[in-house]
Chain A
């Protein structure tokens, strides 16, 4: 286990290195002179003030040195200072991360709750109406942008259920229950596309397992239908579903950025978009780096859980 985990983590190092390179590059992709973009042409022409900004951003150093300094600081948890407000951007991310993480986790739970039974039912009724209805719903789930579902949900609830609190401040530390309640609707909205992904994986995996000889054996030895389905079928079909959960994690984080905007939630998405509107590029850069690193770590965790779930990997891996 340890060796497998160590190998998986070592493999992630070059990926994280590449991720840091691209995150670093974001600020250098801005067309034109960065200082005049940030502070206006008047300041950029004033050499002393411009020189201060250049120095604060290490822009007076060669590019590789800039990258090295930036990465070294980032590894120590220092992601630089906001170009607009002056304070460090790291704590800002830490302050906005919990809402996004709770939203994503809740959505994942909903996606599994909808997708897993959906996939099992669709597979066992293959070619009949429940299968068609579930796959049709899945097609809609995959084809509808989450922000449209969100806007429609807010609209419908405000008409038919005005007492339901759709928008509101989230204070997870001070009022965890109220915060969770506010996150409930956004989480359901966010979960639909991922629920479809999980449903499709579950259905495909179940269909494959249902055709296995050991399923016939289980039935022949007199095991009940539910037992055969869940103990012999679903248990063996779960592995691809874990893959789906890994795929879904990135999908959910990206979706959260938009859904937060619909519901006015103070998460990573809001932080990032506000930073973009303020042209606060160090904040954008740091947010992309931190969130992507988290997603890479989640995928490592998913891979490690394969190892625990599937004895075959333990022999070969």
Chain B
């Protein structure tokens, strides 16, 4: 399955991106060919959609006069000026719940992607730099993790550990870690053969410092692309788990949970399923466009 990611790999050999801010403002052994992030249409549109979603989620309490748990005496009322997207079976304002659900969905997705990013990058760096037995053992572990259909393992693990926010982040972080580890390893394998690494070693730079200062900045670009695409998977996985009742638990609002609740009253209030679904699609399209745009912007061959 490693082939699936080959499009992301390969970018690092000519990027000396101080993009992560790690090498910013410091002299590096790499001839500084500063990476220009040229804005392309998918990147601009995707980033705008993502910023809008994050902004709305952060500003949720100031945008609505309702409370996400507030139960009005108006069950299943259709969209109106008071309830812009109507109310659900319990009379809660749907728009308010969608805005607040964005907070938990986005934080679960971003935290699990961040966990996967950090742990996967460390594993990939170490495996790719030291090779040999460490590499072989780590790669076999990744093979095992990736053999499972991701959602199936997520369901089983969350069910066993208990469905709450930290367990969701932990489970999804573990599931997405191999993606970053493979990208980081492949990039590290190509970077470690280059002259400036030999120079750093020759200068007596420690291994940890070599990895952090000289390898990491050079493999950042494909990892950033991977992060954007992993967030989309994380949002979809969280939505699926919530839909199945294994996500963040009611009464806290989640998009997947709202769609699940809507199915029992579909004939009476068809609008209930549509708005949380559109919210999911909007955010995921945004991150997907951003990922595709970043790939084009960061790929020196493009």
**B152 interface neighbour in A18, A254, A299, Cβ under 8 Å:** A254
* Binding stretch for chain A, among B74-82, B201-209, B214-222, B278-286: B278-286
* Distance in Å: Cβ of B116 to nearest Cβ of chain A: 17
A147 to B161 alpha-carbon distance, docked (Å)? 24
Is B152 within 8 A of A291, CB to CB?
yes
Question: Measured between C-beta atoms, what is the minimum distance from B249 to chain A in Å?
Answer: 14
Interface size bracket, B side = 35 or more
Instruction: Assess whether A152 is in contact with B273, with CB atoms less than 8 Å apart.
Output: yes
The listed residue with most B CB atoms (<10 A of its CB), out of A251, A257, A295, is: A257
Q: Nearest chain B CB to A202's CB is how many angstroms away?
A: 14
Q: Give the CA-CA distance A19 to B149 in the complex, in Å.
A: 11
Least CB separation from B148: chain A residue: A292
Of the candidates B147, B157, B162, B236, which one forms a contact with A295 in the assembled complex, judged by CB atoms under 8 Å apart?
B147
B245-279: which have CB < 8 Å to A? 246, 256, 259, 262-263, 266-267, 270, 273-274, 277
- Among B21-29, B59-67, B136-144, the one that faces the other chain is B136-144
- Of B1, B259, B274, the residue contacting A147 (CB under 8 A) is B259
Identify whether the interface residues of B are mostly helix, strand, loop, or mixed: helix
**B156 CB, nearest partner CB in chain A, Å:** 5
The answer to the question of B289 belonging to the interface, with a C-beta cut-off of 8 Å to chain A, is yes
Chain B residue numbers with a CB within 8 Å of A19 are 144, 147-148
Cβ-defined partner of A22 (8 Å) among B148, B149, B240, B280: B148
Write the nearest CB–CB distance from B57 to chain A, whole angstroms.
18
Q: Which listed residue (A14, A18, A140, A272) contacts B285, Cβ 8 A?
A: A140
Q: How large is the interface on A (under 10, 10 to 19, 20 to 34, 35 or more residues)?
A: 35 or more
Q: Say whether B3 contacts A18, CB under 8 Å.
A: no
B residues near A291, Cβ cutoff 8 Å: 149, 152
A276 CB, nearest partner CB in chain B, Å: 4
In the assembled complex, B200 has its CB within 8 A of some CB on chain A:
no
Q: Which residue of A is nearest B150, CB measured?
A: A254
Chain A 143-159 interface mask (CB, 8 Å, partner B; 1/0): 11101100110110011
Q: Which of A15, A273, A288, A299 contacts B153 (CB 8 A)?
A: A288
Chain A hits for B232, CB < 8 A = 142-143
The answer, among B7, B155, B273, for a CB contact under 8 Å with A151, is B273
Residues in B whose Cβ lies below 8 Å from that of A295: 147-149
Asked if A18 and B151 sit within 8 Å, CB to CB, the answer is no
Distance in angstroms from A204 CB to nearest chain B CB is 7
Q: How many A-B residue pairs have CB under 8 A?
A: 145
The distance in angstroms between the C-alpha atoms of A155 and B155, with both chains bound, is 26
With a cutoff of 8 Å between Cβ atoms, the chain A residues found around residue B277 in the complex are 144-145, 148, 151-152
A250 touches B236 (CB 8 A): no
The answer, yes or no, to whether B56 is at the interface (CB within 8 Å) is: no
Are B281 and A204 within 8 A (Cβ)?
Answer: no
Contact of B160 among A155, A240, A250, A281 (CB under 8 A): A281
Q: Which residues of chain A are within 8 angstroms of B160 by Cβ–Cβ distance?
A: 26-27, 29-30, 281, 284
Mask of A265-300 contacts with B, CB within 8 angstroms, 1/0: 000000011001000010011001001100110010
Q: Are A15 and B236 in contact (CB under 8 A)?
A: no
A22 near B144 with CB under 8 A, answer yes
CB-defined interface of A8-26 with B at 8 Å, one 1/0 digit per residue? 0000001110110110001
Asked if B288 is at the interface (CB within 8 A of a chain A CB), the reply is yes
Q: A18-B141, A292-B152 are in contact. Are A155 and B244 (CB under 8 A)?
A: no
Which residues on the B side are within 8 Å of A26 (C-beta)?
156-157, 160
- Interface flag for A199 (CB, 8 Å): no
The distance in angstroms between the C-alpha atoms of A251 and B7, with both chains bound, is: 19
Within 8 A of A (CB), among B216-250: 232, 236, 239-240, 243-244, 246
CA distance A139 to B232 in the complex (A): 11
In A132-182, the 8 Å CB interface with B consists of 139-140, 142-145, 147-148, 151-152, 154-155, 158-159
Using A15-B144, A29-B160, A155-B273 as known contacts, say yes or no to A145 and B152 having CB atoms under 8 A apart.
no
Whole-angstrom distance between the alpha carbons of A29 and B155 in the complex?
13
Central interface residue in A30, A148, A257, by most chain B CB within 10 Å: A148
Is the CB–CB distance between A14 and B149 below 8 Å?
no
Residues of the B chain whose Cβ atoms lie less than 8 Å from the Cβ of A281: 160
Query: Which residues of B lie under 8 Å from residue A276 when comparing CB positions?
Result: 155-156, 159, 246
Tell whether, in the assembled complex, residue A240 and residue B3 are in contact, meaning their CB atoms are under 8 Å apart.
yes
B4 within 8 A of A: yes
Chain B residues near A139: list those with CB within 8 A.
Answer: 285, 288-289
A243 beta carbon closer than 8 Å to chain B:
yes
**When chains A and B are docked, how far (Å) is the Cα of A254 from the Cα of B262?**
23
Tell which of A148, A273, A285, A292 touches B280, judged by Cβ atoms closer than 8 Å: A148
| A81 at interface, CB cutoff 8 A | no
- Complexed CA–CA distance, A296 and B152 (Å): 14
For chain B residues 8-61, which have a beta carbon within 8 Å of chain A? none
Residues of A within 8 A of B289 (CB): 139
Residues of B within 8 A of A247 (CB): 1, 4
- Asked if A88 CB lies within 8 Å of chain B CBs, one says no
Q: How far is the CA of A309 from the CA of B153 in the complex (A)?
A: 32
Q: Nearest Cβ in chain A — how far from B230, in angstroms? A: 13
- Which one of B145, B156, B266 contacts A288 once the chains associate, using CB atoms below 8 Å? B156
Which chain B residues border A204 with CB–CB below 8 Å? 7
Cα A158 to Cα B148 in complex, Å, equals 36
Known: A158-B266, A291-B152, A299-B147. 7 other contacts (CB 8 A): A27-B160, A143-B281, A143-B285, A148-B277, A152-B274, A276-B156, A288-B152
Q: List 14 A-B contacts (CB under 8 A).
A: A14-B143, A31-B162, A145-B236, A145-B256, A147-B259, A151-B259, A151-B263, A155-B270, A243-B3, A246-B1, A281-B160, A288-B148, A291-B149, A299-B1
